[in-house]
Homo-oligomer: A and B are copies of this chain.
Amino acid sequence: MHDGILLIVSAPSGAGKTSLVQALLERDPGLGRSVSATTRAPRPGERDGVHYHFLSVDTFRAELAAGGFLEHAEVFGNLYGTRAADVRRDCTPGRGLILEIDWQGARQVRACFPASVGVFILPPSAPELERRLRTRGTDSDAVIARRLAQAREDCAHWEEYDYVVVNDRFETAVADLAAVVGAERLRSRRQLGLPACLDGDLLAI
């Protein structure tokens, strides 16, 4: 049995993070996804409690003042945060919990959970990133330009993460994420006590 794995996944907007995490979750029943709280308005199809906990600014600030957030950040004028209670409830031995947060949030979580694992997802190139942002079709040119500029800034933080995955071929990137999770489960320092095969057996000389 390994300890609960807190997996931080960050990426610039348009790198494909959400789809990759979704595919990983479908492949691996031992993983869950933390639902962030946010003050931004839901996009079409987004449901409260599933994609985000959609909070009013007042509610968010009250929870924040009460120390209820493990990390929080303001992005494009909206607040985002991870509730500490959710992580405590879901990141349990034998399980993994995925936090989809940005590099600012990752820094805060790393400070509280040094054993957390950080993965940064990169698009294969800047032109491909722009193409993906345009294909999504929900944003104006001005928003896309702002997102591209933000993406360049975000990418500068890739070295703060334990692993870097390039999302060129989607299936390869999912397999890469699965390998990271698989390997982290095998880490000696994550084993709670002795591996079962050693317990009172091989080590009993």
Contacts and interface: CB of A to CB of B under 8 A. Distances in A.
Interface in A73-126: 119-120, 122-126
Interface of A: 12, 119-120, 122-126, 129, 149, 151-153, 155-156, 158-166, 168, 175-176, 178-180, 182-184, 186-188, 191, 195-198, 201-205
A202 B159 contact: no
A123 B180 contact: no
Given A125-B202, A161-B188, A179-B186, 15 more contacts: A125-B197, A152-B202, A152-B204, A153-B205, A155-B202, A159-B188, A163-B183, A163-B186, A164-B186, A164-B187, A179-B179, A179-B183, A180-B182, A180-B183, A180-B186
Contacts of A159: 188
8 contacts: A125-B197, A161-B188, A162-B187, A163-B186, A168-B197, A176-B182, A179-B186, A180-B186
Contacts of A183: 163, 179-180, 182-184
A183 B153 CA distance: 25
A2 to B, nearest CB: 10
Contacts of A158: 188, 195, 198
